[in-house]
Amino acid sequence: MVHNYLQHNTNTQVCINYYHFIKVLAFAHTDMRPKIYLFGDSITEESFSAGGWGAALAHHFSRTADVVLRGFSGYNTRWAMKVLDKVFPAEMNVGNGRAPLAVTVFFGANDACLPDRCSAFQHVPIDEYRQNLHAIVAYLKNRWPSTHVILITPPPIDEVAHLPERTNEAARNYAKACVAVARECGAPVVDLWSRMHQFPDWGKAYLRDGLHLTLGGNKIVFEEVIGKLKEVGLSLETLPADLPFTDAMDPNDPLKVFED
């Protein structure tokens, strides 16, 4: 198109300006690193606290990918739908803007709030939860067909902690719905509810207040997400480091590695 335009247009200055803009545009968003977005509720928002699963991901990929925090405490899938355009602005993928490597979508803990308790305003009926998850996956895959959208189910609820808004049975149903959506969409899924239940003492080991994660719970989420990323081909073995490692330098001529 640039070529045709240069042929047809007689306004040289505009030509130059236009060409300049196209050139700039071609490089727009040329950040050095691909990105992994973490989209979810409070379990995502607090994932960069000490020992958190988000920070662990960022540390793991510290020389290869940016891990971008998009956690919104208290949000359910209904509100997530309302903010998709802001969280993933359409302009992200113009020019050389790279599609994210992956997006984790981690909602359900608030959708599953009981509809007759104080947090009823956060409750989303399970059919709508399912539809919303479908829509979120479709939105992201439509935007970026190459991006791996990884669903994460809500964790179990430890009712010993007396969370009046939640039951483990409800969490289980929402987790099942999430797994079903993933199957229907062909998306990888971390079934956190089931994974945690494999350990008899899961309530104490993985949850600090009946819902949010302990260090052990964070470790499970980190390992499960790393595992899913690896399954779809995203690992330190496959992702190139963007700048030379020191041990690749010749001690007698360290600057040589920076020559292109």
- Residues serving a catalytic function are 42, 209, 212
**Is there binding between residue 122 and a copy of itself (CB under 8 A)?**
yes
**Is there binding between residue 238 and a copy of itself (CB under 8 A)?**
no
Site track for a copy of itself across 75-104, x = CB under 8 A: x--xx--xx--xx-xxxx-xx-x-------
- Outline where 29-153 has alpha helix (H): 42-45, 53-60, 77-87, 126-143
d(CA 82, CA 92): 18
d(CA 129, CA 85): 19
d(CA 23, CA 159): 58
What DSSP designation does 241 have?
Answer: P
- 160/248 with CB nearer a copy of itself: 248
**Is there binding between residue 216 and a copy of itself (CB under 8 A)?**
no
Residue with tokens 């439509």: 142
Which two three-digit tokens encode residue 72? 């919104």
- 62/184 with CB nearer a copy of itself: 62
The answer to whether the CB of 81 falls within 8 A of the CB of 130 is: no
Which stretch in 17-25, 130-138, 149-157, 193-201 sits in contact with a copy of itself by CB under 8 A? 17-25
- CB atoms under 10 Å from CB of 225, counted, come to 26
Binding site for a copy of itself (CB under 8 A): 1, 4-5, 8-9, 11, 14, 17-18, 21-22, 24-25, 27-32, 45-46, 48-52, 54-56, 58-59, 62-63, 66, 68-69, 71-75, 78-79, 82-83, 86-87, 89-92, 94-95, 97, 120-122, 215, 242-243, 245-247, 249, 251-252, 254-255, 258
